[in-house]
A and B are shown apart, each in its own frame.
Chain A
Amino acid sequence: METLNFLMQGFEVATRPENLMVALFGAFVGTIVGLLPGLGPINGVALLLPLAFALGLPPETALILLAAVYLGCEYGGRISAILLNVPGDAAAVMTTLDGYPLARQGKAGIALSLSAVSSFIGSMIATCGVVLFAPLLAKWAVAFGPAEYFVLMIFAIACLGGMVGDKPVKTLMAALIGLALATVGVDSTTGVYRFTFGSVSLSDGIQFIIVVIGFFSVSEVLLMLENTHSGQKAVKTGGRLLFNFKEFSFTFWTMVRSAVAGFVIGVLPGAGATIASAMTYMSEKRLAGSSGKFGEGDLRGLAAPEAANNASACGSLIPMLTLGVPGSGTTAVMIGALTLYNITPGPLLFEQQPDVVWGLIASLFIGNVILLVMNIPLVGLFARMLSVPNWVLVPAITAISMVGVYAVHSTTFDLVLMIGLGVFGYILRKLEFPLSALILGFVLGELMEDNLRRALSISAGDLNILWSSPISLVLWALTALMLGMPALRWWRARRTARVANA
């Protein structure tokens, strides 16, 4: 009951005209950013973050904008996946598997409308999940002391290493690099300057926006240089534009199952939309057995990853809002945005800033409806965006990134630092280090050190405090499990290989 009251209050915030406008704008921009190959939700949020500041938006409006962009990207990623066979963002890789064959069979209109509805159902189920579980978790999270927080963050990073899978060492290294970048600047407890190399511009630490834009936008520009695919034509959307009832009921339970699974995966800190869509696609394929035509244009293979990636995007807001620990790269950026507004996400957020939290949750419902309404009739318009040539698109991204960074401090140093980080990020990406782990590390860095030192101050330096409470013991056990997963998988793969050889 209490939750419902808060939700009504949230709707009141979200339906203010300026917030509705912002949600509409964010959904539109998000869809475009999402459908452009290479640009994902992190880029979208990173590009709009400076804008939110420039406009002087209040925190709840800024968050609504960013959340709308996030959801919009998950909607948009499927358009290029279906029409071009190029995933618009990483989570849409699975959508290409069945979406593109469908488009080749002349069913592009059906594929696009059905995937829009799957996205809608996925987000809606997950948003209901957020309404139900976020307040519970927030209440529970108040019991977390600094020691528990520290262990929780270790768990979040271990989750990344365990879930992202094939490259656990590189993932953990990327997270460590992020953590290390966060130590640059004046130490908040003692006032000692660390790794500033005598530079005044670094004494404040490396600005969050510079890191995000450098690592994601600038390195993306360099990557796009290699994949300037020319001559690839989008499949024309012809034939029937809307799915029929039979197709909908055929995929309905797939959507529901995938949405629930995607939501759960999204809630886990560290594991994001990409993993959710891959896992649900695989399990639907297994469930369908030989009756499915997965990979050749099965509607279920289209509905599952789309429902899952939107559900996990909404689910990843839970750890962000309740614990202050991001569930995905994009929510890591959103936490950074909140801290720029001097709001620390965490259990107290629900009590201190109910307008922000519930406004955001209500805006998810509204944003979803906007996106669904926008996506079905306007899909042709969005598809035309795919023909914007790179020689216009890339300079525009570059210039907007520059403005975004320049707006923070107005120094050339920041711009050069951004380019430097971008080149470094490009090298890391070429070497297959996942950058979302790095950004997660960077966001958690300061929190992690603060909590560790606070915990040890309480215990006067006794390390035992880190594993004295039941909560932290459970978290340590989960961490060990997560770290053990890659080893287990490796061992399993080796054993099956040996059996196969024998």
Chain B
Amino acid sequence: MYVRLFAALWLLFCAVLAVLAWGFQAPFAYDPVGPRAYPLLLLALMAAGSMWLLVKPGLLDQKLDSSSALRSVLCMLTLLAYALLFEALGFIISTALCTFTLGLLFTGRVLPCAISGVLMGVLLYGLFDYLLDVPLPLGLFEAFVES
């Protein structure tokens, strides 16, 4: 069932991309193929594959129960929030928050998660920024640090 749904959506997606790809045209012909043919070929093959899966989706013994689906969605939202806040809040704060939330999602208890969050933020920042020379955003702490 889910495979069929995915195949149908993917077919639609391929169609949209094919319309987009149709517009790829080079102002000069540098080579006999041009930028359009190869993506169109791939899209056609993918569409064929999707159609096959629409007809013969095969067996999939995955059941979606609502509690684990909810947890998955929460986890995705946490990760997305982490990505969006990474620069704005800075590495230390965003990592601490994300570690705390993810820790709770992964059945950790509140206090240990809070402690591991703060530790993770500070220690990883130290490790990467000072020891390994990977520049990380300071975010809110920027005001306190004189450059």
Whether A460 pairs with B26 at a CB distance below 8 angstroms is: no
Complex: how many Å from CA A172 to CA B124? 39
A473 at the interface (CB under 8 A from B): no
Complex: how many Å from CA A218 to CA B25? 36
B102 at the interface (CB under 8 A from A): yes
Q: Which of A21-29, A225-233, A242-250, A261-269 contacts B (4 or more CB under 8 A)?
A: A225-233
Give every chain A residue within 8 A of B103 (Cβ-Cβ): 391-392, 394-395
Complex: how many Å from CA A170 to CA B132? 40
Q: Nearest-CB distance from B132 to chain A (Å)?
A: 5
Q: Mark A402-429, 1 if CB is under 8 A from B, else 0.
A: 1100110010100110110011001100
Give every chain A residue within 8 A of B76 (Cβ-Cβ): 222, 419, 423
Whether A222 pairs with B116 at a CB distance below 8 angstroms is: no
Complex: how many Å from CA A427 to CA B76? 12
Give every chain B residue within 8 A of A400 (Cβ-Cβ): 124
Complex: how many Å from CA A161 to CA B111? 48
Whether A412 pairs with B25 at a CB distance below 8 angstroms is: no
Whether B132 pairs with A410 at a CB distance below 8 angstroms is: no
Whether A173 pairs with B34 at a CB distance below 8 angstroms is: no
Contact (A55, B102) CB under 8 Å given A180-B39, A190-B35: no
Whether B128 pairs with A54 at a CB distance below 8 angstroms is: yes
Give every chain B residue within 8 A of A422 (Cβ-Cβ): 79
Whether A453 pairs with B112 at a CB distance below 8 angstroms is: no
Give every chain B residue within 8 A of A461 (Cβ-Cβ): 32-33
Q: Which of A4-12, A68-76, A191-199, A372-380 contacts B (4 or more CB under 8 A)?
A: A191-199
Complex: how many Å from CA A497 to CA B130? 65
Q: Mark B58-81, 1 if CB is under 8 A from A, else 0.
A: 101010000010011001100110
Complex: how many Å from CA A406 to CA B137? 9
Complex: how many Å from CA A431 to CA B76? 18
Complex: how many Å from CA A395 to CA B50? 35
Contact (A170, B116) CB under 8 Å given A54-B133, A225-B106, A391-B107: no
Complex: how many Å from CA A167 to CA B52? 12
Give every chain B residue within 8 A of A176 (Cβ-Cβ): 42, 45-46, 49
Whether B105 pairs with A225 at a CB distance below 8 angstroms is: yes
B134 at the interface (CB under 8 A from A): yes
Residue of A nearest to B42 (CB): A180
Whether B72 pairs with A389 at a CB distance below 8 angstroms is: no
B136 at the interface (CB under 8 A from A): yes
Residue of A nearest to B124 (CB): A399
B146 at the interface (CB under 8 A from A): no
Whether A172 pairs with B33 at a CB distance below 8 angstroms is: no
Contact (A191, B72) CB under 8 Å given A167-B58, A391-B112: no
Complex: how many Å from CA A413 to CA B87? 11
Q: Name which of B38, B56, B82 has the most chain A CB atoms within 10 A of its CB.
A: B38
Chain B residues touching A, range: 35 or more
Residue of B nearest to A455 (CB): B33
Whether A177 pairs with B46 at a CB distance below 8 angstroms is: yes
A side interface size, CB within 8 A:
63
Whether A390 pairs with B106 at a CB distance below 8 angstroms is: yes
Give every chain B residue within 8 A of A183 (Cβ-Cβ): 38-39, 42
Whether A403 pairs with B128 at a CB distance below 8 angstroms is: yes
Q: Nearest-CB distance from B136 to chain A (Å)?
A: 7
Complex: how many Å from CA A391 to CA B115? 12
Contact (A190, B30) CB under 8 Å given A172-B49, A412-B86: yes
Whether B98 pairs with A169 at a CB distance below 8 angstroms is: no
Residue of B nearest to A390 (CB): B106
Whether B6 pairs with A431 at a CB distance below 8 angstroms is: yes
Complex: how many Å from CA A390 to CA B76? 17
**Docked complex: B9-60 residues within 8 A CB-CB of A:** 17, 20-21, 24-26, 28, 30-35, 38-39, 42-43, 45-46, 49-50, 52-53, 56, 58, 60
Give every chain A residue within 8 A of B35 (Cβ-Cβ): 187, 189-190, 192, 194
Complex: how many Å from CA A304 to CA B42? 39
A366 at the interface (CB under 8 A from B): no
Complex: how many Å from CA A399 to CA B112? 18
Whether B53 pairs with A170 at a CB distance below 8 angstroms is: yes
Give every chain B residue within 8 A of A195 (Cβ-Cβ): 17, 20-21, 39
Complex: how many Å from CA A422 to CA B76? 9
Q: Nearest-CB distance from A388 to chain B (Å)?
A: 11
Whether A191 pairs with B26 at a CB distance below 8 angstroms is: yes
Residue of B nearest to A197 (CB): B20
Whether A173 pairs with B86 at a CB distance below 8 angstroms is: no
Give every chain B residue within 8 A of A398 (Cβ-Cβ): 79, 82, 98-99, 102
Q: Mark A86-105, 1 if CB is under 8 A from B, else 0.
A: 00000000000000000000
Contact (A173, B30) CB under 8 Å given A51-B132, A54-B133, A230-B107: no
Smallest CB-CB A-B distances: 5 pairs: A391-B108, A461-B32, A395-B99, A415-B83, A190-B26
Known contacts A180-B42, A399-B99, A419-B79; 17 further A-B pairs (Cβ under 8 A): A54-B134, A177-B46, A180-B17, A190-B30, A190-B34, A192-B24, A221-B102, A225-B72, A225-B106, A391-B106, A398-B98, A398-B102, A412-B83, A415-B82, A419-B76, A427-B6, A457-B31
18 contacts between A and B (CB under 8 A): A177-B46, A189-B35, A190-B26, A190-B34, A190-B35, A192-B24, A221-B75, A391-B106, A391-B107, A394-B102, A395-B116, A395-B117, A398-B102, A399-B98, A402-B82, A407-B134, A407-B135, A453-B33
